[in-house]
Structure 1
Amino acid sequence: YGAFEVKQKVGAIYDEPVGAEELEDIREDARGRVFTRAAKPASPNIVPVPSPDGDEDGRRLVGVKVDGEIKRGFPTPSGRLEFYSRTLSDWGWDEFAIPTYIKSHVHPDNLEEDQTILISTFRLPVQIHTRSANAKWLDEIAHTNPLWIHTNHAAKLGVRTGDLLRVETEIGHYVVRAWVTEGIRPGIVACSHHMGRWKLSEQGQRQLMATVKLDHEGTEWGLKREKGAEPYESSDPDTLRIWWSDVGVHQNMTFPVHPDPISGMHCWHQAVRVKRAEAGDNPGDVFVDTQKSREIYKKWLAMTRPADKFSPDGTRRPYWMLRPLKPARESYRLPEQEPDLVGVESSLL
């Protein structure tokens, strides 16, 4: 088994003095950044960190001088905590180079009158990761994900805890049971993440996974639950003690691609319409139109500022920024010729 020890009494790393063994043939620039010829010390810590560029003579950035002392500093191009981001400015986002407020896609000003905000990213304390479904005790404690809805909101819809609701997104909907509570802000609903796992056959994990039927006609896809969790024989006698059947709903498929125009990270919060379930709706039902999903993806793609037009140095993205398993520097270079995206799109369709 792997094991590691968490270092104690770490403190503020940025304020640590840089040791003499790392200060070889140093050079300080006009901004107080200090560069060194010394190689970076070996470390068992494999946590990825940003990698600001060194100087033109091949030295690496080792720290920043503060009050006459060389401190470790921050892993940024300036070595300091940056309130002005030259990186954002250089890459075409000058209006966001200093901290500011950005109205998101679920800001009240961007919602229609009958829409509400869905929080889809919160986790129940015992189901915080995909792997937690393999822990039988955790599965017994929490195995479904009802929609948290405030009592006032529920009263307007005429629903009680356990009633079926239809949650409509831009590209489809899912059917889920209501959890009426005052533990959530009025006008907000929430459905916990890492629930609603499904499979197309009887094989595989059973205590937290439903067997479903997946159908589609054209670009419209539908998922119907055929069987929930149930007791079964195995080498573990506890599998015969499974008393629950509801394993929640897989809501992720109903979320269109919302890549943040600057970072590319997915914007998880959703603007939804919450309604009473319709005739024929059953718990766990999911419906999605992939054509609508593609249209929304193109809409968000149009909000980006492409590297081939805004890159200050002919690269795809800033090399210094944090990235796990960072590719070689040459992989960041933009191609001399644009790829045939039309051909790629045709093959995907």
Structure 2
Amino acid sequence: WLYEISHKNPIWMHPNDGERLGVETGDAVRIDTEIGWFVNTVWLAEAIKPGIVAVSHHLGRWRVRDGEGVGAGMSNVVTLEESADGGRTMRVTRQAEAHKTFDPDTERIWWKDVGVHQNMTHAVHPDPISGAHCWLQKAPNVRKATADEKPGDVYVDTKRSMQVYEEWKKLARPAAKVSPDGNRRPYWLARPLKPTEASYKLKKR
């Protein structure tokens, strides 16, 4: 039932930016990233700062065929194409739909848009201190999508993705060499579910 409440992840954009780009709520917008791009619908709201765009990474699930992976009411059916230069392209061929299962509620699904899988377009940026992935990244370009660019379209340059990963990995500092207290990560970093202190300890060599 949570999907009925929230099942899509539009691009949050300030109305001033929407006016500058010539887009209105519901229009398709393309966001370029460091290693690729994706297309999604936009939602104009003053709740976000001008010059910033945001997209939830908790939605946009997909499957390549029926009967496998995430259920039909929570995912898109997509095609995946691979090019010789390392590019990967995803396109939605069918959105979510009602379907018959042991649960009668799956036949009552009325929504189709279950979001866009934009996660793969964000290069791996390991934080030098915590090792966690840095989700806040710069978008080199944001523009109104062309007629042949549809919500759900995703492209990733996997070779560039690996290059960026190697660049950021050089910034990271191996805990075994720089840890001041023998921990693999700072224990003071706040976490919703914090492991035991012993699990933070590096193995003694």
Question: TM bucket by the smaller chain?
Answer: 0.7 to 0.9
Could you say which residue in structure 2 is the equivalent of 1:165? 29
TM-aligned CA distance change 1:303 to 1:231, over 3 Å? same
Of 247-256 and 319-328, more deviation after overlay is shown by: 319-328
Residue 251 of structure 1: how far off its partner (Å): 1.2
Q: Tell whether 2:110 aligns with 1:243.
A: yes
Residue 183 of structure 1: how far off its partner (Å): 2.0
Q: What SS does structure 2 have at the residue aligned with 1:283?
A: coil
Could you say which residue in structure 2 is the equivalent of 1:298? 166
TM-aligned CA distance change 1:317 to 1:244, over 3 Å? closer
| In 1, Cα distance between equivalents of 2:111 and 2:19 | 28
Q: After the TM superposition, which parts of structure 1 deviate over 4 Å for at least 4 consecutive aligned residues? A: 318-323, 325-329
Could you say which residue in structure 1 is the equivalent of 2:76? 210
Could you say which residue in structure 2 is the equivalent of 1:333? 204
Q: What SS does structure 2 have at the residue aligned with 1:270?
A: coil
Residue 279 of structure 1: how far off its partner (Å): 3.9
TM-aligned CA distance change 1:178 to 1:311, over 3 Å? closer
TM-aligned CA distance change 1:269 to 1:311, over 3 Å? closer
Residue 301 of structure 1: how far off its partner (Å): 1.4
Could you say which residue in structure 1 is the equivalent of 2:52? 188
Indicate if the aligned counterparts of 1:317 and 1:332 stay in contact, CA closer than 8 A.
no
Q: Tell whether 2:20 aligns with 1:156.
A: yes
Aligned residues: 196
Q: Tell whether 2:152 aligns with 1:284.
A: yes
Identity percentage of aligned residues: 47
Letter in 1 for 2:92: R
Indicate if the aligned counterparts of 1:319 and 1:332 stay in contact, CA closer than 8 A.
no
Deviations 1:146-169 (CA, angstroms, capped at 9, x unpaired)? 111111100010011111000111
Letter in 2 for 1:221: R
Could you say which residue in structure 2 is the equivalent of 1:224? 91
| In 1, Cα distance between equivalents of 2:98 and 2:179 | 57
Residues 65-104 of structure 1 aligned to structure 2 (within 5 Å): none
Q: Tell whether 2:122 aligns with 1:255.
A: yes
Deviations 1:263-296 (CA, angstroms, capped at 9, x unpaired)? 2111111111211113421111111111111111
Indicate if the aligned counterparts of 1:146 and 1:179 stay in contact, CA closer than 8 A.
yes
Q: What SS does structure 2 have at the residue aligned with 1:224?
A: strand
User: What TM-score does the superposition give when structure 1 sets the normalisation length?
Assistant: 0.51
TM-aligned CA distance change 1:328 to 1:249, over 3 Å? closer
| In 2, Cα distance between equivalents of 1:171 and 1:142 | 28
TM-aligned CA distance change 1:319 to 1:276, over 3 Å? closer
| In 1, Cα distance between equivalents of 2:200 and 2:129 | 22
Deviations 1:180-222 (CA, angstroms, capped at 9, x unpaired)? 1222111111112311011111114121111111111131111
Q: Tell whether 2:62 aligns with 1:198.
A: yes
TM-aligned CA distance change 1:305 to 1:200, over 3 Å? same
Indicate if the aligned counterparts of 1:316 and 1:333 stay in contact, CA closer than 8 A.
no
Structure 2: segments with no counterpart, 5+ residues: none
Indicate if the aligned counterparts of 1:162 and 1:179 stay in contact, CA closer than 8 A.
yes
Residue 311 of structure 1: how far off its partner (Å): 5.3
Residue 307 of structure 1: how far off its partner (Å): 4.5
Deviations 1:17-76 (CA, angstroms, capped at 9, x unpaired)? xxxxxxxxxxxxxxxxxxxxxxxxxxxxxxxxxxxxxxxxxxxxxxxxxxxxxxxxxxxx
Which of the pair has the greater relative contact order for Cα pairs under 8 Å at 6+ separation?
2
| In 1, Cα distance between equivalents of 2:186 and 2:44 | 48
Indicate if the aligned counterparts of 1:173 and 1:254 stay in contact, CA closer than 8 A.
yes
Residue 310 of structure 1: how far off its partner (Å): 3.8
Could you say which residue in structure 2 is the equivalent of 1:266? 133
CA RMSD of aligned residues (A): 2.4
Letter in 2 for 1:162: G
Residue 238 of structure 1: how far off its partner (Å): 2.5
